[in-house]
Every structure is written in C-alpha cells, then in structure tokens.
Structure 1
Amino acid sequence: NWTVRLPNGSEVKMNKSECDLQNPPKFDKCEDMANLTHLNELSVLANLKDRYLSNLIYTYSGLFLVVINPWRRLPLYTDEIVAMYKGRKRKEMPPHIFAVCDEAYRAMLENKENQSLLITGESGAGKTENTKKVIQYLASIAGTA
C-alpha cells in the first residue's frame, strides 16, 4: 500500500495498482506529451488542463497536434504570429496549427508530394475554426514562399 497526500493535505492509503505515477515538475505544461516520463490518462489530462488554463490550447502528442477549444477568441492568429511560424521547423516553435501547416507546406514543396491535414473531433470541438486557420495560414504564406 501507498500513502497518498491529497491537495487538501489529508492522506489516504491506496493499493499501489490504483495509483498512477506523477511526472516530475520539469514536465509541467509539457509541449509534447510523448516526452512525459509517465504516460497515463491522469498525466495526459493534467498536462492538457494546465496548458489550457494558461491559454496554451495546442499540445503535441508525438506526430499529432491536440487542440482544446477555448470557447473564446485568443490572439493566436495575427499576421505577426503567421510570420513567426513561416519557414520554421516544428520543433523550433511552440505547438500551433500554423507549425503543422508550415511543415506540410514545406514537405509538399521539397518532396513534390501531396500532403494532407486531418482535423477530427466531436461536434462543436472547433474543426471548422481550425480549418479556417489552416486556410488563412496557407493563403498568407503561399504567395511569399
């Protein structure tokens, strides 16, 4: 059995098999969850929650970009932000739909191969809004590449 300290300071005894391990503090608000030491449901949800509460709605999970709909407008899609992501490698910048767009666009130009972006989610999750951001970014950079 393990003794677990709860946020309110109280302690409970739990079977080890009932506990998920917590990641070290250096992984707080981790940009790519594939890098988490302990990859479990609790650590993924806690990471996404911490990032969301800091208006960091984009998070990588390996090759995938996880987006949480903020249900409000955030200043993440300005011309200045487009310019910041243009031509930059995905690992050089924080997670963002523009980083994924730029990676696909550059791969299309360099490899002369079609590329695709798959945007999935529940109804109301923000698929249409993210598709608009993809089009905004590609339209902005295509004429200047």
Structure 2
Amino acid sequence: MIAQEQARSRQVRRRDALDRLANDDDAWVATASADGQPCLMPLSFLWDGTALLMCTRRTNPTARNVTPRGGVVVTLGHTRDVMHVEGRAEVVEGSALAAESADAFAAKLGWDPRDRQPWVYLRITPRVIRTWREENELKDRLIMAEGRWLD
C-alpha cells in the first residue's frame, strides 16, 4: 500500500495548480458532439493567466464539438495528481488571436499555427477547477467555482 501524504491546503493546491498551468505542455480535452458522441483528445496548451489556449484543426471533432456547445472538460496530470477543469471554450481563428498570445503560444510550444489552414485556436476559460492527489484530498478538492479562485 502506498503511504498517503498529508492533504494539501486549498492555498497550496491553488499554487500547485497555477504552477502546473504555467509549466505543463499537454492536457486531455473532453468534448461531446450535439448528439452526445464523446471525444477525448490530447492537446498542447499555453496558460495566459486567465484561459488555456490550445490549437487543433477545425475539422477535428474537438473543434467541431466546441462550436455548438462551448462546454469542455480538461484534465492535467496523472491519476495520483489530478487537475480537473470544467470550462467554456471558444474557437478563435489564427488571424483573430492577439499577436502577443499567438507569439507566446509559438514560443512555449515550438510551433506556430497562425498561417496553417484549417488550424484554429481554442480559448478555454475555466469555470470550475478541482485538484486532488489521494482520497484524503477528495473532500476539499474544489479550488475554483464560477470562474473565481476560492480562498
């Protein structure tokens, strides 16, 4: 049996979450089509301080699913250090994205999709964030609600 560490405080979880958002490169993105067909896709991302910025082809199910509904779930980490983000997504054309954001995306991830067709950005604004490592952190895993960090 794996020994459990002491549960982290909400403040420590928030700090850890912000660190993960700033430093991780990839996440799992879950969407559903209008008829309920699920889709799970790994995508690279940039955290701009308020939203996750990702990129995919407009023809991929993830981008198609965002258009009618906007709701997504993003998961970072592994099963013993989970960050679960529920948010709203919008599709942003490469030419419509602010140059500062597009430059930061390209610098972090090593590629620039602005001039590629049919690539689009997805801007995902978190509404709810939960983090946990083990069972002892499940009770207080909520660190963001209604788009606001909890103290």
Question: RCO higher in 1 or 2 (8 Å CA, sep ≥ 6)?
Answer: 2
Q: Same fold (TM over 0.5)?
A: no
Q: Identify the structure with the greater helix proportion.
A: 1
Give TM-score, length-normalised by structure 2: 0.29
Give TM-score, length-normalised by structure 1: 0.30
Tell which structure's C-alpha radius of gyration is larger: 1
Q: Identify the structure with the greater strand proportion.
A: 2
